[in-house]
A and B are shown apart, each in its own frame.
Chain A
Amino acid sequence: MSFQVFWFIAIAVLWTGFFVLEGFDFGVGILRGVVGKTDEERRVAINTIGPLWDGNEVWLIVAAASMFAAFPAWYATMFSGFYVPLVLLLVALIARGVSFEFRGKRDSDRWRRNWDRLSTAGSLLAPFLIGVALANLLHGVPIDANQEFTGSFLDLLNPYSLFAGLTLVLLCVLHGSTFLGLRTDGIVRERATKVAGRSSIAAGVALLVFVTWTQLMLDRGAIPDFLPAGAVLATFAVSWLVRDGRDGWAFAMTAFAIAATVATFFIDLYPTVMVSSTKAANSLTIQNASSSAYSLKLMTIVMLVFLPLVLVYQGWTYYVFRRRVTTADLGD
């Protein structure tokens, strides 16, 4: 296996990790007002992700930095080409990030409500924009022979990519609701379970459409592969699982659905990293966008040393905070 292939896989793994983990953070951010009618209930919802969201967001940072290090041309073309959505994404992530810390820092209902609104908007917008951006890699955007993006903002707003963004938001809502079902109790859990049951159908239908659309776009016939089909089934299965009170299984299913969807996306993309709609020869691939062998070898060693370590201590964090959060846990 060449280093380029390894790094393509590594970046796919990082993005998958990001969506599986930060996906439920986004979902909880979106759903806090739905599952929490009082401030205490909303705090319970936020505190389920309180110790986790910051560490989860680092997956995005490392994914982007890895693209920079391993495939500089990919990073350069994508980030300069997708400029406006990325500005909006940064605004969404900033608003969301600070609102976690700031919302409780003043004893005023208006203050907290405003931060909650910002945070909800950010949690909605972020997965939508990332979904649009990633889908465009596969859909294709205008790229010239110098690997420069030649399109405009409107080129990014094609129906396929917008629908991908929407699907991702629905998956995050579903993932967040099963996470809340697993990590809360009482009325908050009841409401989360109800949301999970409903959004399971919505997300399942959206995912089915998205998977089929992708198949047709890539000229592969309407029948999807095992992995995306599994993702769709897992998404639908959630509605039965939550009805039977199987919180753990429901969460496992949504995690699998997101992971399988992201993995399918990268499998479909390989070995291209950015499709050029101008001319197939202008597409960026793992060959023409990559760093030198020395750099990739060095980064491989670093990745193989540190990523397992990260998995261990992040896994331990999840173990430490495994208990359901109730109003009794809320501190000062």
Chain B
Amino acid sequence: MTKLDLARLQFAMTSIYHFLFVPVTIGLSFLVAMLQTAWYRHGNEAHLRLTRFFGTLLVINIAVGVVTGLVQEFQFGMDWSAYSRYVGDVFGAPLAIEGLAAFFLESTFLGLWLFGWGRLSKRVHLATIWLVALGAAGSAAFIMAANSWMQNPVGYVERGGRAELNNIWAVLTNPVFLWGYLHVLLAALVTGCIVMLAVSAWHLRRDSQPELFRRTAGLSLAVLLPVSIFQLMVGSHLGVVETTYQPMKIAAVEGQWETCQPCSFSLFQIGGFNSGDETPTKIIAVPHLLSLLATDSWNGKVVGLNELNQQYQQKYGPGDYVPNVFIAYWSMRAMAYLGTVIVLLALWGAWLLHRGKLLASHLFLRVAAWAVVLPILINTAGWVLTENGRQPWIVQGLMKTSDGVSPSISAATIWFSLLTFLLLYGALAVVAWVLMARYARKEVAPAPEVDDRGAPQTAMSY
């Protein structure tokens, strides 16, 4: 493997890994904040116990999310120094703002929340968990602003062999950013809800503390249903946004080699993923659906890969500008189809809840517990889709991925770090998973003793 392949592999691996934990952190912190708010408002001990129960899961997850985030920040300079030199003027700013405005908030108030039980008043302590959630969501905003700039560079001028920021407002109102960020935020909420639902379902099926877990099953379903439906709509609109700003990505996602109007959408296809094999066997093709998804109109035109490739060759010089079509096609479908499964699951659960039969349906509880794998697959597919779809560019239209890699390092050096992180991350995954599973299956601890202000005395100390 070349240096470029290794650097890409390392970035893909560490990013996917990091993003296993990020959406759980964002989603679950909001849900835990809601539980604690319920306790603050109504004083029901059940909510307090559940807050601390799911708070423990949240903290195990945050630990891994935070430390793997460090790797992401260092990696740009380590593996992608040519990229960093070229884009630092634009790309560095959102990263620094992320740290200053959001990550400081999240980390500081997480410590206050964990250790502040009994030291802070109930009201202030409640505020700390909301600030943790806010900080986590804010972090994602700046990271997405930076990433969206790579997808659709705006607000810059090329000067002295590098991109220089000249309009931060354009960067922060980049349509790819606004829709992409909403998409990520909703994905995080869906993930948090599924985790809470799965844990609750596991307990309910075993009749373990149903008086507690029916509450969290209800809460997670109540949030999941609207959010997952809204997410499908946002995801669908993001397709239209991409058609405008990254038409190559959309053409690759549909394996659409020739320009079409109107365009049909294939549910599955066999073959057709290489320039040597451009006529796939479409298993089910829904007429007009691609036009609708990609352009929001019944007879919309989708420009094909070949035509776009020719346009790019004229504009940027000879070369192959088509990303990996197979990965694009299937990552998008994995995301969309499994996302639909989550909506169906939410509908099923909401209907059972409405009929008062949630606790009796062992089938649903079993399925819901296993559903915890769905957001993992969906989130990964989403990132694979968006990053693979931008290739061969590292910054769309400005810099190719192959030009971004560090000139001063050797393939052997990247091998060293790749294997180091592979081993470390593998071990960490096992430990984190075992701990999460162990704590998720524990009984909810009784409420801690409260002081005269009604605040629990024991902190969740180390």
Contacts and interface: CB of A to CB of B under 8 A. Distances in A.
A47 interface: yes
A330 B460 CA distance: 9
Interface string B112-143: 10111101100000000000000000000000
A72 B89 contact: yes
Interface string B430-445: 0110010011000001
Interface string A2-38: 0000000000000000000000000000000000000
Interface string A82-105: 011011001101110110111111
B110 A68 contact: no
A287 interface: no
A61 B70 contact: yes
Contacts of A314: 104, 108
B73 A64 contact: yes
Contact of A299 (B96, B104, B461): B96
Given A52-B111, A64-B73, A314-B108, A72 B428 contact: no
A57 B107 contact: yes
Given A65-B73, A329-B461, A330-B461, A292 B408 contact: no
B413 interface: yes
Measured as residues with beta carbon below 8 angstroms from the partner, the interface class of chain B is 35 or more
Given A76-B77, A84-B413, A302-B97, A332 B458 contact: yes
Interface in B66-119: 66-71, 73-74, 76-79, 81-82, 84-85, 87-93, 95-101, 103-105, 107-112, 114-117, 119
A146 B158 CA distance: 19
Contacts, number: 238
Contact of B420 (A91, A101, A106, A317): A91
Given A75-B84, A91-B424, A332 B74 contact: no
B116 A79 contact: no
Interface residues of A, number: 71
Interface string B238-249: 000000000000
Contacts of A331: 117, 448, 458-461
A317 B82 CA distance: 40
A320 B119 contact: yes
A317 B128 CA distance: 11
Given A58-B99, A91-B420, A94-B428, A83 B108 contact: no
A12 B310 CA distance: 50
A55 B100 contact: no
Given A65-B98, A79-B74, A80-B408, A310 B461 contact: no
A51 B115 contact: yes
B89 A87 contact: no
A226 interface: no
A291 B88 CA distance: 7
Interface string A52-66: 111101100110111
Contacts of B93: 69, 295, 298-299, 302
Interface in B241-291: none
Interface string A310-332: 10011001001100000001111
B97 A292 contact: no
A70 to B, nearest CB: 7
B408 A68 contact: no
B173 interface: no
Interface stretch (B164-172, B215-223, B385-393): B164-172
Nearest to B93: A69
Interface of A: 43, 46-47, 50-55, 57-58, 61-62, 64-66, 68-73, 75-81, 83-84, 86-87, 90-91, 93-95, 97-98, 100-106, 147-150, 291-292, 294-295, 298-299, 302-303, 306-307, 310, 313-314, 317, 320-321, 329-332
Given A68-B77, A291-B164, A310-B104, 18 more contacts: A47-B115, A51-B111, A55-B107, A55-B110, A68-B91, A70-B96, A72-B89, A72-B162, A79-B78, A80-B78, A94-B424, A101-B59, A105-B438, A292-B89, A294-B164, A310-B100, A331-B117, A331-B459
The 9 closest A-B pairs by CB, nearest first: A72-B88, A79-B77, A69-B92, A331-B458, A51-B111, A80-B81, A55-B108, A62-B99, A101-B63
